[in-house]
Chains A and B, each alone.
Chain A
Amino acid sequence: MSGFDTIVEGVLLGGVYALFALGLSLIFGIMRLVNLAHGDLILLAAYLMLSATTALGLPLAAASLLVVVTMFALGFVLQRLVLERVLGDDILPPLLVTFGLSIVIQNGLLLGYGADSRRLQVGSFESSSVTLAPGLSVGLAPLTALVTAIAAVALLQLIFYRTSLGRAFRATADNPAIAQLMGVNERNVYAIAVGLSLAVSVIAAVVFGIRASFDPSIGPARLLYAFEAVIIGGLGSLWGTLAGGIVLGLAQAIGGRINPEWQILAGHLTFLAVLMVRPRGLFPARRA
């Protein structure tokens, strides 16, 4: 059963990577912004969750709600005060500003929380498991991660294709100037998009923080996994991103099974291999 275990483990791990990737994919799709601080913002959300559950003593659900609202507001303000000023035809300024932000957040967390590994404590939930088939039991926490990822993709799809906000998102992504002529407030749409991206990242942070321990230095690696999931899945498709996350999770699980040192490397090499064979990703959006 060990081979099958590895596959299950990889698929479940993929759920977490897909959650990392959704926020990144969202703002790239709408505003063509690659946020190099994405991984560190996920870490920031995880530390805020830690503070909310321990220092404030809130239960997980209430803490999540509080942090989601906080991160949404942070994203909105970040876009209006900082990112908005550097978005334009030149790709250099937004990249450099978000890279600077990544360094500031990473080292700010180091100052505030120290370099120790931390974990979100949720009682017995993190160690309990369910038996799916005779001889095959999976941890409840990883399974929740995958289910959450699927739910998050479904919810985002719903927002994108069934609400007026989603219509504004899609219109602005296609042509910001014409969207403005039709009465869409471009500045607000962008600010909401960044806020939504960070709110989704909180879900990623919760699911990740329960599963594994984290410290301030691992933000950039989360960004790379998120990015790999987006590119493997294919740009412009949220379900593709979910699939990309699962492919990445599988690659890491299989690589790690062969040799524990190869786990991360196997993911990176799979990404490069996909780039070589299918540069548009495995499941690209139908319209170009």
Chain B
Amino acid sequence: MSVESIRIPASREERPADLPAWQIRVGTRLSRVAAVAGIMLVVALAALPAIASRNLIQDLIFVLTMLTLAQLWNVLAGWGGLVSVGQQAFVGLGAYALFAGIVMAGLDPVAAIPLAGLFAALIAAMLGPLLFRLEGPYFAIGSWVAAEALRLICAQFKSLGGGTGMSISPGELSQMFGLKAVQALLGLRPAAARDVLVYWLALLLAVLVTLGIYGFMRSRHGLALAASRDNAAAARSVGVRTARIRHVLWIAVAFATGMVGALVYLQKARISPDAAFSVTDWTAYVIFIVVIGGVRTIEGPMVGVLLLWGLVTYLAQHGSLYLVVLGTLAILIMLFMPKGVWGAAARRWQLQLFPTQRWLGRS
């Protein structure tokens, strides 16, 4: 996480040694402090099941999985310009692939999670070329249609419960990889131990996805992606393969989204097409998190997911009213604070915990 510097010679000839070199800086002093604090936070979260109640663990599973989905949507729509309203397709596909793997193929649930991600990625690879024919805003509705079509197709599989869905019995999950170890380690019953196991996997996935996106956005591929969004023609003229980079991003995001879907439904142990492909649960909430926190920042979704958690805790019992408040809040933020809560704070106080901007300065 230290200073990333690229030396740029002042001219083609060797530069005199005493002249200052131009450097591109990405890191800041604060970001190095944040990196240390971040590592400590992750260690603390990993140790939390030793003392936390089961309710808190379940809440944190929600927070971590929503955070992962928000980071993924942010890189896809914010940085990549692929504004998808159909990401619930890959949550649903991941969840259904997990259930199919457990029920039909008798796979171990933990081993089925990456396979569920691969299945989502495979479908994404097939849909991508089709949906990319729709320009900009039309891509948004196109991805939604694709998600609806996939929901209706999943409802056709009678062996997976058809339109009403199905449950996995606790007995089928009791032999899950790692479950016995967690039970022995923390002295928990199987159901609580399963929550802890899912929690650790969710934490692992959230950390990997966040670091992966951070590393990607700081790499030259991240620059190429941002360039493709800002001006595709100009990006192509300097050698960026805009279509390819978007397609690869779309598939990679689907892979991780599918794994999140599998993880969420491993914890719920009950699936139905309407819930697994719900646009409200898997796309609307995710968009709110990103918009409220701040589009095109790594920190934004983290702030946004904590705000959503607070709103869910205090308002969720009001049902529809809660969604009206959430939607209104998102519209107001988009109108008056388009960079979101984090973006506004970062600009005011020059905060950069996960800096992706590049600064040119003399060394």
Contact = CB atoms under 8 A, between A and B. Distances in A.
Q: Do A and B share a complex?
A: yes
A268 interface: yes
A86 interface: yes
A232 B361 CA distance: 53
Interface centre among A82, A100, A269 (most CB of B within 10 A): A100
Contacts of A36: 85, 140-141
B149 A272 contact: yes
A92 interface: yes
A95 B78 CA distance: 12
B295 interface: yes
A107 B136 CA distance: 27
Nearest to A268: B149
A231 B131 CA distance: 12
Contacts of A231: 134, 138, 142
Interface in B121-164: 130-131, 133-134, 136-138, 140-142, 144-146, 148-149, 152-153, 155-156, 163
B338 A95 contact: no
Interface in B297-330: 319-321, 323-324, 326-328, 330
B130 A92 contact: no
Interface stretch (A4-12, A41-49, A222-230): A222-230
B357 interface: no
Contact of B328 (A91, A100, A110, A276): A100
B64 interface: no
Contact of B331 (A97, A110, A265): A97
Contacts of B327: 100-104, 107
Interface string A271-283: 1100110010000
A265 B153 contact: yes
Contact of B152 (A32, A93, A94, A264): A264
Contacts, number: 120
B284 interface: yes
Contacts of A220: 144, 279
B133 A279 contact: yes
A265 B152 contact: yes
A52 to B, nearest CB: 23
A86 B133 CA distance: 25
Interface residues of A, number: 43
A199 B72 CA distance: 38
B335 interface: yes
B139 to A, nearest CB: 9
Contact of A91 (B81, B130, B145, B338): B81
B294 to A, nearest CB: 12
Interface of B: 77-78, 81, 83, 85, 130-131, 133-134, 136-138, 140-142, 144-146, 148-149, 152-153, 155-156, 163, 279-280, 284, 287-288, 291, 295, 319-321, 323-324, 326-328, 330-331, 334-335, 338
A-B interface, 10 closest residue pairs, ranked by CB to CB distance from nearest: A34-B137, A103-B327, A104-B327, A268-B149, A107-B320, A107-B323, A265-B152, A279-B133, A100-B330, A100-B331
